[in-house]
């Protein structure tokens, strides 16, 4: 598949298949976190499973990620570190975070299964230390576990849901959670002798008419330049990631994201699974949404600064999660967005930061800074004067930045250009995908399931639904969890059909 | 159809139809502006046409509207009033207005056909006076014609496209354009003896398999409690409006719009046509978008005021079109939005305004006003001080409000509560619909057309694509224009098939 395909992939008819090269109860396409968990669960529930992976090794985008896992409602680590979390608190946060497009059924299933999912990961050998990482950070670089990853403890979420840290970092030093998670899951796949075909590109779904209904019965794949036909007796599970690497598809479905700079994922995230699902009638939803980040911390000291739009106004509490900040920056109407700091808080920016934003002005007075940045006369002066007054009062009435991050902006000043498209690091990935039930069954627009087809991870539209309410760990959490549900559902279908037949 | 249907309407098979009650070359469902123009054009191109309309009279939402028609590129009235407009200027405005989801092909067809469409309307007897209405207004209440209806002459559009007024108001006094337009088109339908079945509810499309392809061949309708089968030899044209009157569908597809107060349209705008189109594989796009308005003028003097969010900040140039203001209000993060005025500019608010916003504070000082409105300390003081400085300078550097609307905000002050959901009038309607070619042919997700099916007006996703860039007259302009294209396309299909057969 060229990476610029936008149109759905038409399926081929089973009647045109002369010979099935492979066969299993459940066929999994893609072996990142979602696919691996689907395969393990289907296997453990009694199904034979076969995996086809595009790349030369398993891992997918999960292996490239930090692999925090967003879990709560009282996990072992939350309890051990004294963090009270409840199903209600987690439900309220996930609902507020997903906004008006929240999927209440998926959230309920995820919250109800959250502690069990943690335990299941542990059973697979995924290590979590009973400790927390009490810093403002995008990820834990120590082997500590628990951290706030979605601004649960910052405005507005701290007013909408009882805050608890839910980002579970694996017990590994450095940004190495993803490789460790996939190595661990890979070892479990190997122990079970689940066949994994690498360098295998899924080309099209295969459908049959059974009892006047279209059923997905297999996949056509290309392995070593040969086209192979793979029969799935009880289900095909699409786990091929999102579409962030398909530029045309991003332009078509999520044009706002084209302002961002660095697509996050692996080269296989071309939307192939979504397009195959659409080709058999699956509905793709929420396709305009994506995770967008401005990773402006560490160093945490940049949180003392102020984000300023072209009107010289603040527009966000700067202690927000980097994803919320990135999303709001994308929505500012003017031509520039700056992060303005006292030089003292610029601190270790150049060595510690991922931000890559250029210093576009330094100044000894706000007047000079305002002029250097071409901001409307007087606006930045008002903004900084008002902010410094809030600092004196100890309350940011305007934007509700927490008191511990309130510190006067003092000269000399530094301004970083964080305008999308002007050098600053704006990573992004897609949050739209196939509409599914919590079981992973792919839904058509009419609400009926496509028989025999499941979608999981970023191939589906899951728990995370918008950039503004993303939290680190949501994607890996949702991928691994939805993978397990789909693996179980496909195996369950097998049991039901076998019992019905006798 | 209940108004709470969300799922696509499944078609019925032609093979199950025993008897066809009616037959015509082209069947038009719905007789608002779009349907009427489609019927006229198909008829004039040689096709027999039959119309089925849900209500007891023709008119649809067009008859309820002001029926300004958004046209340009040098119409007769533009020339007569000395307004230079070009295809390029109109294209640039429509493209900027539609934003990232602009449909370049549709815009090109609309601009190319714009002066011809004006002339065609005139030929039908629609009267336009060669005059302009040089006031800041939502509609012309005199019989004058031309006015700016989309903020073409305000920031940001005046920097993106050469401004020209393009709202063409009919030559009729008062807000009576809609009734006159539909009366005129209705007379033309009658002269041509095009049969119009009133009180006729379309229930489902009828499809047949012809040459292994699904073709729309008719419609099942209910008339006088009887189900009737209507055969369309060369096309069914869906002109049933949008879905603003279907609360469940709005909640499902456009949840942001639920903050608005008054759905604009007729009771038949339940999405019936969109759902029928989806049921035969048509793709609905842009479904989250809608027109949203805060009709805060007249009196134009309210434009001298300042819109203020919960942070005490301005967020828009107040000389923007009321639709842009409404859209931006909907996006403000806090709990309240106010319009703040000097009492002098409050003027004839109570007698002239449609706004219905409550006065929530009056005050002799900004300090008092800020406190009464619970705004963060100092913010409103800064905002008004900065704004009054802009007025002195004669330039609104921050928000680019035009100099002629700059006037100092002086005591005593009045604050109107324009928060969505708190009484102020927030009319809205939907801008998502079936994906179509400029010809009106309905497209599936795979880019193929559904043979025999056309959608027009708000049943399709047309020229207007987002609230932020809406201009009065776009919907009636698009509806009447797209209607003509679809009527011609269906008649053209007839000619081609007849020639092929003969």
Strands A338-342 and A413-417 come out as antiparallel
Element (H, E) at A78: helix A76-80
User: Mean of the pLDDT values across residues B120-136?
Assistant: 95
pLDDT at B3: 54
Dump pLDDT digits (tens) for B414-425. 999 999 988 899
User: Mean of the pLDDT values across residues B70-92?
Assistant: 97
Q: Do residues A321 and A470 touch, judged by C-beta distance below 8 A? A: yes
Dump pLDDT digits (tens) for A300-358. 999 999 999 999 999 999 999 999 999 999 988 888 999 999 999 988 888 888 889 99
Q: Positive or negative CA dihedral for B314, B315, B320, B321?
A: negative
Cα distance between residue B482 and residue B470, in whole Å: 17
pLDDT at B502: 67
Measured between beta carbons, the chain B residues lying within 8 angstroms of A311 are 314, 398-399
| pLDDT over 70, % of chain A | 99
User: Mean of the pLDDT values across residues B121-134?
Assistant: 96
| pLDDT over 70, % of chain B | 99
pLDDT at A331: 87
Q: A501: how many CB neighbours lie within 10 A of its CB?
A: 6
Q: Do residues A482 and A462 touch, judged by C-beta distance below 8 A? A: yes
Better pLDDT: A222 or B135: A222
Dump pLDDT digits (tens) for A397-445. 889 999 999 999 999 999 999 999 898 999 999 999 999 999 999 999 8
Strands A449-455 and A441-443 come out as antiparallel
What contacts B432, CB < 8 A, 6 or more positions away? B242, B243, B253, B254, B284, B285, B286, B287, B288, B289, B290, B461
| pLDDT over 90, % of chain A | 85
pLDDT at A222: 97
Better pLDDT: B405 or A378: B405
Fold of A12-65+179-187+197-290+430-465+485-500: FAD/NAD(P)-binding domain (3.50.50)
Question: Residue A502 — very low, low, confident or very high, per pLDDT cuts 50/70/90?
Answer: low
Measured between beta carbons, the chain B residues lying within 8 angstroms of A258 are 100
Element (H, E) at B231: strand B226-232
| Residue whose pair of structure tokens reads 């006369």 in the numeric block | A377
Q: Would you tell me which CATH number, out of the four given (3.40.50.300, 3.30.200.20, 3.40.50.12780, 3.90.700.10), belongs to the domain B294-417?
A: 3.90.700.10
HSE-up (13 A, CA, CB side) for residue B492: 12
Please tell me which of the candidates A288, A378, A398 has its beta carbon nearest to residue B379.
A398
Q: Is A210 on the interface with B (CB under 8 A)?
A: no
Dump pLDDT digits (tens) for B212-236. 899 999 999 999 899 999 999 999 9
* Range list for CATH 3.50.50.60 in chain B: 1-290+429-502
Partner-chain contact B386 A379, CB within 8 Å: yes
3-state secondary structure of A264: coil
HSE-up (13 A, CA, CB side) for residue B273: 34
pLDDT at A3: 55
Dump pLDDT digits (tens) for A68-101. 999 999 999 999 999 999 999 999 999 999 998 8
CA–CA distances in Å: residue B107 to residues B36, B152, B165, B469, B478: 22, 16, 17, 14, 10
Dump pLDDT digits (tens) for A180-205. 999 999 999 999 999 999 999 999 99
3-state secondary structure of A269: coil
What contacts A302, CB < 8 A, 6 or more positions away? A296, A339, A341, A345, A346, A347, A349, A353, A355
Least-confidence region, from B140-154, B316-330, B345-359: B345-359
- What integer best gives the mean pLDDT of chain A? 94
Query: Which DSSP string do the residues of A87-139 spell out, in sequence order?
Result: HHHHHHHHHHHHGGG--HHHHHHHHHTHHHHHHHHHHTT----S-B--S--SS
User: Mean of the pLDDT values across residues B384-400?
Assistant: 92
Q: Is B213 on the interface with A (CB under 8 A)?
A: no
Q: Is A367 on the interface with B (CB under 8 A)?
A: no
Separation of first and last alpha carbons in chain A: 41
Q: Do residues B309 and B374 touch, judged by C-beta distance below 8 A? A: no
Partner-chain contact A389 B376, CB within 8 Å: no
Please tell me which of the candidates A101, A389, A446 has its beta carbon nearest to residue B255.
A101
Measured between beta carbons, the chain A residues lying within 8 angstroms of B382 are 382-383, 385-386
User: Mean of the pLDDT values across residues B235-242?
Assistant: 98
Token reading at B121: 């309307």
pLDDT at B2: 44
Cα distance between residue B314 and residue B155, in whole Å: 15
CATH superfamily for domain B1-290+429-502: FAD/NAD(P)-binding domain (3.50.50.60)
Dump pLDDT digits (tens) for A261-292. 899 999 999 999 999 999 999 999 999 999 99
| Residue whose pair of structure tokens reads 């990820």 in the numeric block | A139
Measured between beta carbons, the chain B residues lying within 8 angstroms of A104 are none
Dump pLDDT digits (tens) for B286-333. 999 999 999 998 889 999 999 999 999 999 999 999 999 999 999 888
The secondary structure of residue B170, as a DSSP letter, is: -
- Backbone angle region of B131, left / alpha / beta, with phi > 0 → left and psi within -120 to 50 → alpha: beta
Least-confidence region, from A7-21, A260-274, A424-438, B129-143: B129-143
pLDDT at A1: 40
Which residue from B minimizes the CA distance to A5?
B446
Q: Is A173 on the interface with B (CB under 8 A)?
A: no
Cα distance between residue B69 and residue B177, in whole Å: 10
Measured between beta carbons, the chain A residues lying within 8 angstroms of B371 are none
Measured between beta carbons, the chain A residues lying within 8 angstroms of B389 are 377-378
Please tell me which of the candidates B100, B377, B447 has its beta carbon nearest to residue A7.
B447
In this prediction the pTM is: 0.84
Q: Is A7 on the interface with B (CB under 8 A)?
A: yes
Cα distance between residue B163 and residue B153, in whole Å: 5
User: Mean of the pLDDT values across residues A99-107?
Assistant: 94
* Range list for CATH 3.90.700.10 in chain B: 294-417
Burial class (CB in 10 A: 0-12, 13-18, 19+), B350: exposed
Cα distance between residue A179 and residue B102, in whole Å: 42
pLDDT at A108: 98
Partner-chain contact B278 A445, CB within 8 Å: yes
**By C-alpha distance, which of B452, B432, B423, B428 is closest to B440?**
B452
Dump pLDDT digits (tens) for A208-219. 999 889 999 999
- What integer best gives the mean pLDDT of chain B? 94
Dump pLDDT digits (tens) for B448-480. 999 999 999 999 999 999 999 999 999 999 999
Q: Is A311 on the interface with B (CB under 8 A)?
A: yes
**By C-alpha distance, which of B473, B480, B479, B482 is closest to B68?**
B473
User: Mean of the pLDDT values across residues B263-280?
Assistant: 95
pLDDT at A243: 97
* Range list for CATH 3.50.50.60 in chain A: 12-65+179-187+197-290+430-465+485-500
Partner-chain contact B389 A378, CB within 8 Å: yes
Please determine, for residue B145, whether its predicted confidence score (pLDDT) is greater than 90. yes
Please tell me which of the candidates B255, B256, B446 has its beta carbon nearest to residue A8.
B446
């Amino acid at each position: 598949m060229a990476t610029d395909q936008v149109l759905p992939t038409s399926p081929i008819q089973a009647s045109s298949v002369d010979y099935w090269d492979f066969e299993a109860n459940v066929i999994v396409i893609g072996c990142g976190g979602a696919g691996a968990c689907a395969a393990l669960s289907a296997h453990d529930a009694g199904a034979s499973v076969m995996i086809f992976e595009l790349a030369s090794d398993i891992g997918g985008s999960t292996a490239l990620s930090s692999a925090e896992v967003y879990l709560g409602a009282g996990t072992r680590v939350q309890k051990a570190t004294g963090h009270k979390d409840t199903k209600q608190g987690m439900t309220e946060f996930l609902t507020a975070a997903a906004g008006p497009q929240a999927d209440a059924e998926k959230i309920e299933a995820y919250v109800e299964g959250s502690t069990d999912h943690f335990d299941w990961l542990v059973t697979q050998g995924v290590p979590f230390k009973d400790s927390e990482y009490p810093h403002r950070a995008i990820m834990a670089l120590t082997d500590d576990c628990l951290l706030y990853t979605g601004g649960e403890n910052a405005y507005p979420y701290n007013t909408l849901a009882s805050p608890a840290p839910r980002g579970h970092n694996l017990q590994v030093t450095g940004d190495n959670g993803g490789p460790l998670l996939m190595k661990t899951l890979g070892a479990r796949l190997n122990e079970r002798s689940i066949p994994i075909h690498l360098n295998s590109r899924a080309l099209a779904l295969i459908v049959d008419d059974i009892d006047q209904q279209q059923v997905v019965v297999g996949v056509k794949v290309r392995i070593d330049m040969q086209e192979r036909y793979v029969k799935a007796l009880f289900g095909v599970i699409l786990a091929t990631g999102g579409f962030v690497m398909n530029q045309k598809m991003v332009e078509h479905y999520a044009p706002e994201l084209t302002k961002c700079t660095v697509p996050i994922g692996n080269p296989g995230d071309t939307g192939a699974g979504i397009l195959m699902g659409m080709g058999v009638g699956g509905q793709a939803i929420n396709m305009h949404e994506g995770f967008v980040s401005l990773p402006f911390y560490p160093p945490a000291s940049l949180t003392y600064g102020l984000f300023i739009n072209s009107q010289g106004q603040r527009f966000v509490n700067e202690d927000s999660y980097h994803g919320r900040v990135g999303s709001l920056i994308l929505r500012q109407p003017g031509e520039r967005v700056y992060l303005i700091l006292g030089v003292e808080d610029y601190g270790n920016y150049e060595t510690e930061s991922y931000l890559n934003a250029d210093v576009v002005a330094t100044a000894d007075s706000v007047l000079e800074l305002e002029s250097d940045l071409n901001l409307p006369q007087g606006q930045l002066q008002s903004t900084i004067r008002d902010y410094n007054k809030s600092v004196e009062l100890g309350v940011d009435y305007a934007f509700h930045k927490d008191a511990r991050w309130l510190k006067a902006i003092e000269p000399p000043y530094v301004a970083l250009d964080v305008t999308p498209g002007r050098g600053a690091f704006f990573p992004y990935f897609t949050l739209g995908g196939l509409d599914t039930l919590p079981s992973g069954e792919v839904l058509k627009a009419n609400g009926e399931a496509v028989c025999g087809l499941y979608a999981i991870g970023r191939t589906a539209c899951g728990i995370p639904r918008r950039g503004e309410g993303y939290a680190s760990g949501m994607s890996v959490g949702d991928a691994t969890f939805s993978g397990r549900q789909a693996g179980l559902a496909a195996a369950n279908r097998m049991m039901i059909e076998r019992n019905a037949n006798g």
